Amino acid sequence: MHQPVNIGTGMRKCQGITEPCWSSLSEDQRVSWKYFSRIVAVVGAFFVTKTGSPYVDWPLVALTAIFLVIVIETQRSYSRLSPKFRKRSVRIAIFLGSWGITILGVAMFSQVGLVSAATVLSNEVLPSLHKSTDPLVQAIMVGGFLVAVPIALIRSFRQLHFEELIYTLPRNGLKRLLVFKQPKATSFPVFAYMELSTLLVCLVYASSVAEIAKVAMTLFNAF
| pLDDT at residue 180, rounded to an integer | 86
Domain ranges of the chain: 4-222
Residue-wise DSSP of 79-100: GGS-HHHHHHHHHHHHHHHHHH
**pLDDT of res. 223:** 57
pTM: 0.79
Type of residue found at 60: L
Q: Give the SS3 label for residue 37.
A: helix
User: What single-letter DSSP state applies at residue 168?
Assistant: I
**192: number of Cβ within 10 Å:** 16
pLDDT score recorded for residue 6:
38
Question: What is the structure's pLDDT at 13?
Answer: 55
- Cis geometry, peptide bond prior to residue 183 (ω within 30 degrees of 0): yes
pLDDT in tens, 46-99: 888 888 888 888 999 999 999 999 999 999 999 898 989 989 999 999 999 999
**Segments of the chain scoring below 70 in pLDDT:** 1-13, 132-133, 219, 222-223
